[in-house]
Each structure stands twice: as C-alpha cells, then as structure tokens.
Structure 1
C-alpha cells in the first residue's frame, strides 16, 4: 500500500476507490459510498486497512458536503460529480468510529502516543459530519 500523507485521499487504496466511484454510473455513486461506509461500520472482527482507507475516503466525501467540510483532494479524489450524500452522515460517523476502534489495522498503522496528525484528520472529518446547519436536526442513531 502506498501512503504519502495523512489525508483521507493520500493513499493508493483511497485513490483507486475514487477511480471506481468515477467509473460508476451517476445513479450508482451514492450506493457505492453507502456500501463502502456500511462495510466498515458492520465489521465486527479485525478491520482490514484497505476497507478502512476506503471508508475514510467515503466519509470525507460526505463531510465535504457538510458545513465546514473540506473539499475532496483535487488530484486523488473523485473527478465526477456526486449526488447529495448528506443523508449518509450518521453512517459515515459509524464507519469512522469503527476505524478508530480496535481491532483496526489502520488504527494500528497510525498509532502515535499523542494522537498524531492522522487522528487529527479523522477528528476534523467527525467535526464536519456533526456540524449542523441552522434549523437542522442530525439523527445519529
């Protein structure tokens, strides 16, 4: 696996997944994001780094559409337009929580005593996913 930085799209697995997302038909893209998040969120046993990397990228795409969310990486993120993904916020949070819970290979690979910059990236994603627009109610069940 090639990883060059701590961002959600800064690894070969996430970049390849974004390519698959671009190749999907426009009406299949939301389902691909949902399935990717669910695969990580529903993993009870050891969470493989590749599944986790894809889930982090998917969560970042959801967060990018939320108030305060950072846009997807211009080179490694998807090139094709995405549908509204904001209804996947709760699932994205569940997937990120699973990535950050043992047993998780990605958590092990990025383990640092002070939390490190990768964990700060995950925390920024979580922040964007939990920020509400005025008058909005987020259901995190």
Structure 2
C-alpha cells in the first residue's frame, strides 16, 4: 500500500475505496461501508481485519464527518460524491472496527509504527474514535 500522508484517504487502498463509492448508488454506498466495517470489527476474521484496515479507517472518517466535531472529507483522494445520511448503527460498527485495528496490531498499525509519522497517524485514528464516541461529562455530581 502506498501512502502519502496520515489522513484516512491518503493511501492507495482508501483512494480506491473512494472511487468505488463514487461509482455506486447511494443505497449501495451504505452497504459497502457497513460491509467493510463488519469485516474489520469481527475479531474472528483476521484476514479481513488485516486486508480491509485502510478502507475501515476511511469508512469511519465518512461516518464521523456526519457527527458534531467530525471533519468533512475533502481530500483529493476521498469520494467526490456526497454521502447519504448513514444509519446510526454504522457509528457503533465504526467504533468497533477502529478498536479492533488498535487492540490487535494489524499490518497497517505495524507499518505506521515503523514510520516517523506514527504519532500523527494514531492521532488521526484516535480523533475519529473521539468524534464517534465522545467522552461523557459527569453531570450527576458537582466536584
């Protein structure tokens, strides 16, 4: 996989995924994103978790873009076609997929660990997760 930056679509696999999303009708885009997230989130499916890792990060970025604090995907390599509103179950699936990528080292995480930009990439993934599952503030008790 060729990479040129730390963004979710700044690699060959994710850019190809963006092209495929652009070519698909809206209802199929939702299925494509859900499928890649399901495969990566499944702890028993190591092959898919490993091979689909860059597409799962890209899919999570598209979902996060529709939540408060999410960043619009404006990369030259991201989809150029507007994404449909995503069902809420994809948010939970994206969180599981991102957790799966970090919990068990994948080739993607290991490749970034060898890079001087490893911390920037980890911040990208952690940032996506924080948008999808923001930390909750304690409101029951005043400290």
Per the TM alignment, residue 43 of structure 1 is displaced from its structure 2 partner at its CA by 4.3
Unaligned residue ranges in structure 1 (runs of 5+): 133-141
Deviation at 1:42, TM superposition (A): 1.1
> How does the TM-score come out when normalised to structure 1?
0.84
Q: Which runs of 5+ in 2 are unaligned?
A: 136-143
- TM-score, L = length of structure 2: 0.83
Aligned match of 2:69? 68
Match of 1:135 in 2: none
Q: How many residues align?
A: 131
* Secondary structure, aligned partner of 1:69: coil
1:41-80 alignment runs, 5 A limit: 41-44=41-44, 45=46, 47-48=49-50, 50-80=51-81
Distance 1:103 1:124 in 2: 18
CA RMSD of aligned residues (A): 2.1
Q: Structure 1, residues 56-115: CA drift from partner, whole Å, max 9, x if none? A: 0000000000100011133111111211125111100000011112241111111269x6
Q: d(CA) in 2 for partners of 1:6 and 1:73?
A: 14
Bigger radius of gyration? 2
Partner residue of 1:27? 27
Mapped contact 1:14–1:54 kept (Cα < 8 A): yes
2:118 corresponds to 1:110: no
Q: What residue is the counterpart of 2:128 in the other structure?
A: 125
